[in-house]
């Protein structure tokens, strides 16, 4: 892998900050949602650096990982501006859009073609339900790091939101889902099988919370499981779900998953 110098990485961060600033219009609700994704990006950069350290990744690997984090959601700003939503299935795949934006703006032109393609692939895989089976191990490793780092910060965003003291409902965070009672049985079924919740089973906000809990079954590294426990992410989602026998059983399998040894 070609070496990315720290100065080159700094230049990319500066480009990103300038790029995002173009999406702030002065409209309070819109700017707030742009800011959520900007803040999320910087946090995922930090999460992936911490994860790299926990996994003993060398400095070059850490910088490369950080670049994938920096650009993983670069498509979000254009997605939100064009469609007013972060829901991919109602708009566009934000990973693909992000890659297009990087290409159009020739953002990675200072890197060699191999590193550039590598970064595009890791971005492409960050939001798929499953990783491809026909990828090389290094790309899969970096994709796993990005997916864990991304989830760690999404859990922050949603748990802070569910426990907000004030502030209104944010349809962009809730993806426009209705806050209706009950949960979809198929979502419960996925979790009882220790699987992630399939997107087609998401019908209300409770299902969306179950989907977020189910991400523990897609976590790749022990460091991530430790952080989930330390930050009480699952407890904070359970707090805002209805209390039922099914939910208590889900809490049990989630706890088992987080405590499993690997």
- What's the closest the beta carbon of residue 54 comes to Fe ion, in angstroms? 22
Q: Which residue bears the tokens 């890197």?
A: 111
String marking each residue 189-218 x if it binds Fe ion according to CB under 5 A: ------------------------------
For 42, the token pair is 């910087």
Among 73, 88, 148, 174, binds Fe ion (CB under 5 A): 73
- What's the closest the beta carbon of residue 97 comes to Fe ion, in angstroms? 10
* Residue 2, φ and ψ in degrees, nearest 5: -60, 145
* 38 touches Fe ion (CB under 5 A): no
- What's the closest the beta carbon of residue 244 comes to Fe ion, in angstroms? 31
Q: How crowded is residue 250: how many other Cβ atoms within 10 Å of its Cβ?
A: 23
Nearest CA among 206, 205, 207 for reference residue 197: 207
Cβ atoms 214, 137 nearer than 8 A: no
Site for Fe ion in 97-136 (CB under 5 A): 127
CA–CA gap between residue 160 and residue 176 (Å, rounded): 18
Nearest CA among 205, 212, 206 for reference residue 174: 205
Cβ atoms 237, 162 nearer than 8 A: yes
Q: For residues 47 and 73, which CB has a smaller minimum distance to Fe ion in the complex?
A: 73
Q: Which stretch, 70-78, 132-140, 167-175, 179-187, contacts Fe ion (CB under 5 A)?
A: 70-78
Residue whose CB is nearest to Fe ion in the complex, by number? 73
Q: Which stretch, 65-73, 129-137, 161-169, 181-189, contacts Fe ion (CB under 5 A)?
A: 65-73
Q: For residues 73 and 207, which CB has a smaller minimum distance to Fe ion in the complex?
A: 73
* 47 touches Fe ion (CB under 5 A): no
Name the 3-class secondary structure at 143: helix
Q: Enumerate binding residues for Fe ion (CB under 5 A).
A: 73, 127
């Amino acid at each position: 892998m070609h070496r990315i110098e720290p100065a080159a990485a700094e230049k990319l961060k500066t480009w990103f900050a300038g790029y995002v600033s173009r999406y702030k219009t002065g409209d309070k609700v819109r700017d707030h949602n742009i800011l959520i994704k900007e803040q999320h990006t910087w946090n995922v950069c930090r999460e992936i650096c911490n994860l790299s350290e926990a996994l003993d990744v060398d400095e070059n690997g850490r910088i490369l990982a950080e670049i994938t984090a920096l650009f993983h959601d670069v498509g979000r700003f254009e997605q939100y501006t064009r469609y007013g939503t972060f829901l991919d299935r109602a708009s566009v795949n934000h990973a693909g859009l992000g890659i297009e934006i990087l290409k159009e703006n020739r953002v990675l032109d200072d890197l060699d073609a191999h590193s550039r393609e590598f970064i595009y692939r890791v971005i492409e895989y960050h939001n798929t339900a499953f990783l491809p089976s026909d990828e090389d191990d290094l790309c899969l490793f970096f994709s796993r790091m990005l997916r864990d780092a991304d989830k760690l910060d999404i859990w922050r965003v949603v748990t802070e939101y569910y426990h907000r003291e004030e502030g209104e409902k944010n349809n962009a965070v809730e993806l426009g889902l209705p806050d209706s009672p009950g949960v979809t049985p198929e979502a419960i079924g996925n979790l009882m099988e220790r699987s992630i919740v399939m997107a087609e089973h998401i019908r209300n906000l409770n299902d969306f919370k179950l989907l977020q809990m189910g991400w523990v079954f897609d976590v790749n590294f022990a460091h991530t499981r430790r952080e989930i426990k330390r930050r009480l992410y699952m407890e904070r989602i359970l707090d805002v779900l209805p209390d039922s026998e099914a939910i208590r059983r889900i809490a049990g399998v989630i706890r088992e998953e987080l405590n499993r040894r690997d």
